[in-house]
Structure 1
Amino acid sequence: MTRWSHWALVPLLPSLLVASPVSEQDDDTAKLNPRADNDYASPPFYPTPHGGWVSDWSDAYAKAYEVVSNMTLAEKVNLTTGTGYFMGPCVGQTGSAPRYGIPNICLQDSPLGIRETDHNTAFPAGITIGATFNKDLMYERGVAIGEEARGKGVNVQLGPVVGPLGRKPRGGRIWEGFGADPTLQAIGGAQTIKGMQSTGAIAALKHFIGNEQEMYRMSSIITKGYSSNIDDRTLHELYLWPFAEGVRAGVGSVMAAYNDVNSSACSQNSKLINDILKNELGFQGFIMTDWFGHYTGVGSALAGLDMAMPGEGAVPLLGDSYWGSELSRSVLNGSIPMDRLNDMVTRIVATWYKFGQDKDYPLPNFSSNTKDATGEIYPGALFSPTGVVNQFVNVEGDHNITARAVAREAITLLKNNDNILPIGRSDSIKIFGTDAGPNSGGLNSCSDQGCDNGVLTMGWGSGSANLPYLITPQEAIGNISSNATFYITDSFPSDVTASSEDTAIVFINADSGENYITVDGNPGDRIEAGLNAWHNGDDLVKDAANKFSNVVVVIHTVGPILMEEWIELDSVKAVLVAHLPGQEAGYSLTDVLFGDYSPSGHMPYTIPKSESDYPDSVSIINQPFGQIQDTFTEGLYVDYRHFLQANITPRYPFGHGLSYTTFNFSNPTLSVGTALDSTYPPARPSQGATPKYNDSIPNPAEVAWSSTSFTRIWRYLYPYLDDPQSITASSTYPYPVGYNTTQAPGVRAGGGQGGNPALFDTAFSVQIDVKNTGSRSGKAVVQLYVELPSSLGLDTPSLQLRQFEKTKELAPGDSETLTLDITRKDLSVWDVVVQDWKAPTNGDGVKLWIGNSVADLPILCSVGDGC
């Protein structure tokens, strides 16, 4: 979202990736978008599959049917179209259907807290919770975010983020997701969704799909967003994987990305939305645009889009829309079938019912537009009524406890020579770097955190939130240590004295964010800074290392950061990556720094020795003219998969993390679950019934202005037309190639939310004993990587994370037995010919590697041979 609110390559197969004319898009748009790479084109898939056939959603769809079958055309259009920019309290809201008790549906950022409001918690970012490798904390954080959304009257909280995946290490928003691995993203996303939606708030899984860099992502009347060109197998095995798990978790809504995929915009890509999301993955909720990511009217509706946000057309605040009254017109003239509109609104209403929002769900009690108690109700209008817009409802509860626990468990100890950490409370310490201190301009002085000033708590953009308060490292250390001196500067002071008893703690960071804000020359993506520390951080570390014999480096960062200038200096004894900790930055760090807790975070991405260690194809593309063709030529080999394939030793591998104690993994046992007695999953279950409506064109009077009796608000988007009776059905609309209205049978890989339910049967389980063999309490993370056999006949990464578990806090000498379950899908590859998931029969040749990181896997369990 912007502040405006806010297929390794395989041979192209005719049934999968075909060159097709640009007729999936409306004619006017098509003229602006000649395809530059016909090797990657998105084939058409029509019509949109109906929702309502999944048993878990049957009651909600039954309720929705009773309402939608009696709605007028105006009411239906109202619920699918945003009301316009600045036309309500939230970053986006739909129209309402008051006759049925359905209010304007409020949609609000962000994935780490309630954006642009007050008395909210600023939680650690997605990359931080990913680094915990703690499923329980992922769920708990999701619950807390959901509770705050509900408390503020937010119907749809815009998160979690599982795209970008982190393909591009300089990418501006990789910190919003959980890490550069599809399984880590999938588990983090699914746990977050379950937690959020347990409160009644609707989660929005985003950004669907292939949105891996910020620059040139959006289309407009003069530009065309880049095309992420992804082959079918890579799409399924990497980028779609976490979305499938999110759908399996029952997510209520999905947000389309701004960019194209295979030369068709995500918000109107019928292959992605109709076939993959709603057919193959069985998605039952609704899909919306990202803000101002709505590029056509009829084309997007036919391709499966259900909700337009925030409603406007190509230029905000003109009061026009691709939908709204134009959607009413398109239904009356027959270009959009009532069948499609009925499914759109049914998906929205059913989701509202599914999460109990018909039962005492609060209305919005805040304003994204002002922090004053009273103000304009529709500030985007020329003249607006005024009233109470902010009630200052405090929704924080005790969520600071969760926020601190997440930030603490994420802290990743990369290096600890001579066991310099933890530090004693009375030790002599000297602290350097502005990243230890506050924002010099004041708390939240930078809109949407659009600056790098003081301790880095989160990246910038719509994925941010206001900090209700901030405990800085400076404050926390000062309150705990009896012998600390602070130098809150990024230039090493010339007058510092050092003794052999001193420990220098140097704070450095690296920031990034969303493209609508540029910070220090970085337009979202880290263009100027690269992967180096900001504000001369590398020099600060080297200067401290020249002066002090004991140096600890603390890093707050959005993603991979280079350390080669100083990591092997003798005096740099320890490195802690604290990621993006949110409001509890200080005490979460001191919890670990002074030894109250052992660090238990693990790296959610690889730390390279050089940026040149990555494949060239994952660089940010800076091409100001013409549509960028961003072809994913590295295929499946992203992050650690690439480093293993290229035999490149990173500085720190994916999953790496040290502790103040030691653990022993022992007694692994392998058990068989549901037998893999076939290469492909059993036949999918039959598909349930879906609502049946009268799909004839309604009476034009239902959207006539003359039938209304309220005062119009200028720039507010309405479903009404001045002379709808003059509109007649036409058979001349230039429908996309491949368009038809006959519901297609479900694909073989589908059959349930997330895909064929048999994919998620547990095929094997590994039990392992974990014992704390050290002298301090701590938590261990057990990671399981799969090595698939060559008998599958496909080039496949040598190791792939497929499961992880974290122990409880283990005292010295204590043990815990963990169980790691592996599903059929975990052992499968995507067969682009059969269009289904292919696994080795009986698991023959599968190896399960277990350990502390992708580079430290001491335990091997082989199917057939045991552990």
Structure 2
Amino acid sequence: MRTTIAFEKATWLLLPFLVFGLAAPNERRATTAGYYALPYYPAPYGGWVDEWASSYNKAKKLVDSMTLAEKTNITAGTGLSMARPCNGNTGSAERVKFPQLCLNDAANGVRLTDNVTVFPDGITVGATFDKKLFYQRGVAIGKEARGKGVNVWLGPAVGPIGRKPKGGRNWEGFGADPVLQGIGTRETIKGVQEQGVIATIKHLIGNEQEMYRRQTTDIVSPAYSANIDDRTLHELYLWPFAEAVRAGVGAAMTAYNRVNGTICSEHSYLINRLLKDELGFQGFVMTDWLSQITGVQSAISGMDMSMPGDTLIPLFGNSLWMYELTRSTLNGSVPMERLNDMATRIVAAWYQFGQDQNYPKVNFDTNTKNAIGQLYPAAWPTSPEGVVNKFVQVQEDHDEIARQIAQDAITMLKNEESLLPLSKDHPLKVFGTGAQVNSDGPNACTDRSCNKGTLGQGWGSGTVDYMYLDDPISAIKEQAQDVTFYNTDKFPTVPSSTDKDIAIVFITSASGENQYTVEDNHGDRDKSRLNAWHDGDALVKAAAAKYSNVVVIAHTVGPLVVEEWISLASVKSVLIAHLPGQEAGESLTNVLFGAASPCGHLPYSITYAENDMPDSVTDLIDSAFIDPPQDVYSERMYIDYRWLNKEKIQPRYAFGHGLSYTTFSYTNATIEKITSLSKYPPARPTKAEMLDYSQDIPDYSEAVKPQSFSTFWRYLYSWLSESDAKAAAAKATSSKYPYPDGYTTTQNTNPPRAGGAQGGNPALWDEVYRISVLVTNTGTKFSGKGSVQAYIQFPGDIEHDVPIIQLRDFEKTAKLAPGESERVEVALTRKDLSIWDVSVQDWVVPDPDGDYKVWLGAASDDLAVVCYGIDSSCDYDTDGPVSYTSKV
């Protein structure tokens, strides 16, 4: 049953519990006291924003011409591996010329195919803090996806946001901050969709760890419940989704886990209220693969597409939709209006991105690398064969953008005595298996589910097959004259060292999706924690004891604890190379030998100890039985640097930290107020007139399989047998589905006041402050790129609890020669200056005329300039906004 409300809780925490948490049919699922959600029905219609109106009109016309079985056929997948060619494949409506849609991973390219680029992972591009590179990577991925015939690319990922440092899939996203994630996803979506490919924002929401995220069975292993209050949800976890919707993203994917007790695939509040109504999402919502646990409930809760179509156990060709959705609409359980809306959203996205005109057909098959393969693989041995792979080359010159990202992401933590860049004539002793490609081949482990050799990607469905892997040792040997490589993670017996010897030590830390366990890590880094794998810390210490000059290079999915060796006198330089994809070699040697100055910045904080962060984010859920495990977001908005600043805990290396071979000054700053503020934004625009989806239940004959059609075992079809169709139609007036409390079919005439357009009320993006600063390369030897990060500090006298500073924008200079300058602009919007008002359910500027400060600099703890909104002045060389009381 629903839990009671603890009325003694703080007011700002109370109201979200009244509107956010448990909903039928999971009411029996217990949650931590106070967390549940009111229902939100029905699913809001799309098509009411100008940018999508034409596509919706065309889509409705096409859907109106479909039969019942055709409509249900395009809203679900044909089965997991039950049909070629892609990770997910919808049914089609060939009679009206609507094709089967190909949905394909990964987060860093096109998965399970050939002649493609393995781009650096999201966490790597996040470390560039460069909007241009975000966008260019999106363009290149979009071109490759289109060239392979992919209709829907299953990225980018902003959930997880990186709340838990040991979280298994943090590397697929852009970093542990909502604005960094939001800008990353916005620019990626723009680049991908400009190529005509539908992008997918995922995972909605609270998928912050891998273990126990999935509902494997209802009793033994229920999915955990992410218990999030309303303000935290809006200010952190929903923030990048709003940016994605504002960018016009065509698809969204729900998460496996529960949120406040309710499984995400049937969470009417998340899908209907927040995504489709408040954020104005116009595309279609799909399940994550095998995350759907109900049929009717997920349909009325706003789900539009079931992927890959099967039940939780995909063995016998059963589905919660397809056949069952046809039955449920024919018997009246799912209204025809809902089915028409579902189908129209899918077809509208197809029209929106021009896929009805000369779109390439799929030319690859995820099931085999051979040219000839089974057309219906899981129907073996009855499947016919045919040409399934055409080996289309789509890489073009994308290695260049991949290499640039990998290079510009490299983050220098330390460089004492200016050991780097290296001279090419120094004797180099290279240690660690991470320096060389896996001897079994870069693709030897399925979905990269091992940590052998150079670590270019995490593991799981977010990976791409290498066509080649430019490994570091090959690139180092091409540049240096005297290289000795010890391909081992155990320090070997070596000759006596000389003062000229430089040791380069490679260490790694991997993670990935929970369907694989790698070296006792169950997706999350539960075994290795935040330590280097393969006893990498010992390898560094041994090298430091032997050599007086040591360079450490870490390929890692996220933060490491480096205290065992970071302060050793001989460890002079440390580079975090993140996950560079296929271009791990030359991108690194360009930095090592000085062809490029390092310009990456940490997209997360590195702490002295794991427990410098709160238990709620350091602890992983490690068991589940009968009742869902509870993951309470008790730290609220205080993740990563926000928590450290609040608790005055000094990080070893702060969020945004990154050194260069040169230095930069920040001078001549200006701040201009563009828009006067009111406490609340202007009233939202009214919705345009929506399409009419009403329809009587059609004759049962529209659901019956044609006698001449041959089917394949385990392939999912939407047709009913004639007897089942007649029986379902007979029940339409005699029986009723047990709808949840609050269920209605009447469209909401009082939509959320925070909405009004894609992403929310368009006034939220009104520019309020425009800030510029002159960035000058003050060094004398090296060119380099300067980073400008802009953090907001709210007025100190407001009544709301807010983080001390919060990232709000960033820009990067072009490469500046010594003495060269560039004026950089950043901007802050109304939303940047707002907090989420849980009582009014809108964004509020707590003090429109208050003393907002904008801090500018190279890192969250290196902010050299502060500009004051109250009088449009700027100061330099002031004490920063954060003071620490520990680990100094």
Q: Indicate the TM-score class for this superposition, using the shorter chain for normalisation.
A: over 0.9
In structure 2, the partner of 1:347 is: 345
Shift of 1:403: 0.4
Does the C-alpha gap of structure 1 residues 181 and 14 become closer, same or farther in structure 2, counting only changes over 3 Å?
closer
SS in structure 2 at match of 1:313: coil
Judge conservation of contact 1:335–1:733 (CA < 8 Å) in 2. yes
In structure 1, the partner of 2:770 is: 765
Judge conservation of contact 2:141–2:192 (CA < 8 Å) in 1. yes
- Residue identity opposite 2:699 in structure 1: N
Q: Answer yes or no: is 1:202 the counterpart of 2:198.
A: yes
- Residue identity opposite 2:207 in structure 1: N
Match for 1:278 among 276, 297, 300?
276
Q: Answer yes or no: is 1:112 the counterpart of 2:108.
A: yes
Judge conservation of contact 2:507–2:555 (CA < 8 Å) in 1. yes
In structure 2, the partner of 1:657 is: 658
Q: Answer yes or no: is 1:174 the counterpart of 2:180.
A: no
Deviates more, 1:789-798 or 1:614-623: 789-798
Distance in 1, matches of 2:271 and 2:12, equals 21
- Residue identity opposite 2:739 in structure 1: Y
In structure 1, the partner of 2:624 is: 624
In structure 1, the partner of 2:739 is: 735
Judge conservation of contact 1:16–1:43 (CA < 8 Å) in 2. no
In structure 1, the partner of 2:882 is: none
Deviates more, 1:65-74 or 1:251-260: 65-74
Shift of 1:790: 3.8
Superposition pairs for residues 561-600 of structure 1, below 5 Å?
A: 561-600=560-599
- Residue identity opposite 2:816 in structure 1: L
The count of aligned residue pairs is: 852
Judge conservation of contact 2:20–2:260 (CA < 8 Å) in 1. no
SS in structure 2 at match of 1:732: coil
Distance in 2, matches of 1:721 and 1:310, equals 20
Judge conservation of contact 2:489–2:539 (CA < 8 Å) in 1. yes
Superposition pairs for residues 18-417 of structure 1, below 5 Å?
A: 18=18, 24-25=24-25, 30=26, 34-86=29-81, 87-221=83-217, 222=219, 223-382=221-380, 383-417=382-416
Does the C-alpha gap of structure 1 residues 14 and 472 become closer, same or farther in structure 2, counting only changes over 3 Å?
closer
1:317-372 Cα offsets, whole Å, 9 max, x none, are: 21111100110111111111111111101100000000000011111111111111
Distance in 2, matches of 1:277 and 1:497, equals 63
- Residue identity opposite 1:674 in structure 2: T
SS in structure 1 at match of 2:396: coil
Distance in 1, matches of 2:767 and 2:683, equals 17
In structure 1, the partner of 2:812 is: 806
In structure 2, the partner of 1:756 is: 761
Distance in 2, matches of 1:329 and 1:806, equals 56
Judge conservation of contact 1:23–1:735 (CA < 8 Å) in 2. no
Does the C-alpha gap of structure 1 residues 731 and 10 become closer, same or farther in structure 2, counting only changes over 3 Å?
farther
Match for 1:833 among 831, 839, 842?
839
1:358-393 Cα offsets, whole Å, 9 max, x none, are: 011111111111111111111111421111111111
Shift of 1:262: 0.5
Does the C-alpha gap of structure 1 residues 835 and 787 become closer, same or farther in structure 2, counting only changes over 3 Å?
same
Distance in 2, matches of 1:508 and 1:137, equals 26
Judge conservation of contact 2:21–2:262 (CA < 8 Å) in 1. no
Judge conservation of contact 2:80–2:314 (CA < 8 Å) in 1. yes
In structure 2, the partner of 1:6 is: none
- Residue identity opposite 1:499 in structure 2: T
Distance in 2, matches of 1:443 and 1:833, equals 53
Judge conservation of contact 1:84–1:317 (CA < 8 Å) in 2. no
Shift of 1:101: 2.1
Shift of 1:301: 0.5
Shift of 1:113: 1.0
State the superposition RMSD in angstroms.
1.4
In structure 2, the partner of 1:441 is: 440
Shift of 1:759: 0.1
- Residue identity opposite 1:646 in structure 2: E
Shift of 1:22: 6.4
Shift of 1:251: 0.5
Shift of 1:841: 4.3
SS in structure 1 at match of 2:17: coil
- Residue identity opposite 2:113 in structure 1: T
In structure 1, the partner of 2:667 is: 666
- Residue identity opposite 2:168 in structure 1: G
Q: Answer yes or no: is 1:634 the counterpart of 2:635.
A: yes
SS in structure 2 at match of 1:407: helix
SS in structure 2 at match of 1:120: coil
Judge conservation of contact 1:90–1:106 (CA < 8 Å) in 2. yes
Distance in 1, matches of 2:820 and 2:13, equals 55
- Residue identity opposite 1:857 in structure 2: L
Superposition pairs for residues 513-592 of structure 1, below 5 Å?
A: 513-592=512-591
Judge conservation of contact 2:15–2:838 (CA < 8 Å) in 1. no
SS in structure 2 at match of 1:24: coil
Does the C-alpha gap of structure 1 residues 827 and 249 become closer, same or farther in structure 2, counting only changes over 3 Å?
same
Distance in 2, matches of 1:441 and 1:23, equals 49
Distance in 2, matches of 1:167 and 1:296, equals 29
Distance in 1, matches of 2:165 and 2:108, equals 21
Deviates more, 1:60-69 or 1:599-608: 60-69
Judge conservation of contact 1:792–1:839 (CA < 8 Å) in 2. no
- Residue identity opposite 1:632 in structure 2: Y
Distance in 1, matches of 2:24 and 2:496, equals 69
In structure 1, the partner of 2:864 is: 858
Does the C-alpha gap of structure 1 residues 602 and 843 become closer, same or farther in structure 2, counting only changes over 3 Å?
farther
Q: Answer yes or no: is 1:685 the counterpart of 2:689.
A: no
Shift of 1:521: 0.4
Shift of 1:708: 4.7
- Structure 1: 5+ residue runs without aligned partners? 1-8
SS in structure 1 at match of 2:18: coil
Shift of 1:14: 7.7
Shift of 1:596: 0.3
Does the C-alpha gap of structure 1 residues 792 and 340 become closer, same or farther in structure 2, counting only changes over 3 Å?
farther
Judge conservation of contact 1:110–1:158 (CA < 8 Å) in 2. yes
SS in structure 1 at match of 2:477: helix
Shift of 1:686: 1.2
Judge conservation of contact 2:23–2:261 (CA < 8 Å) in 1. no
SS in structure 2 at match of 1:583: coil
In structure 2, the partner of 1:3 is: none
Task: State the percentage of identical aligned residues.
Answer: 55
Judge conservation of contact 2:379–2:713 (CA < 8 Å) in 1. yes
Shift of 1:71: 1.1
Distance in 2, matches of 1:10 and 1:439, equals 54
Per the normalisation by structure 2, the TM-score is 0.94
Judge conservation of contact 1:791–1:840 (CA < 8 Å) in 2. no
1:636-676 Cα offsets, whole Å, 9 max, x none, are: 10000000011111110000001011111101101011211
Shift of 1:480: 1.1
Judge conservation of contact 2:591–2:598 (CA < 8 Å) in 1. yes
Shift of 1:709: 2.3
Judge conservation of contact 2:21–2:37 (CA < 8 Å) in 1. no
Does the C-alpha gap of structure 1 residues 426 and 843 become closer, same or farther in structure 2, counting only changes over 3 Å?
farther
SS in structure 1 at match of 2:430: strand
- Residue identity opposite 1:772 in structure 2: N
In structure 2, the partner of 1:781 is: 787
Q: Answer yes or no: is 1:703 the counterpart of 2:689.
A: no
Per the normalisation by structure 1, the TM-score is 0.97
Does the C-alpha gap of structure 1 residues 399 and 248 become closer, same or farther in structure 2, counting only changes over 3 Å?
same
Judge conservation of contact 1:670–1:767 (CA < 8 Å) in 2. yes
- Residue identity opposite 2:628 in structure 1: Q
Distance in 1, matches of 2:32 and 2:54, equals 45
- Residue identity opposite 1:203 in structure 2: A
Distance in 2, matches of 1:734 and 1:15, equals 28
Does the C-alpha gap of structure 1 residues 22 and 125 become closer, same or farther in structure 2, counting only changes over 3 Å?
closer
Shift of 1:12: 7.8
1:524-553 Cα offsets, whole Å, 9 max, x none, are: 001110100001100110011001111110
Shift of 1:300: 0.3
Distance in 1, matches of 2:673 and 2:684, equals 22
Judge conservation of contact 2:20–2:35 (CA < 8 Å) in 1. no
Deviates more, 1:618-627 or 1:761-770: 618-627
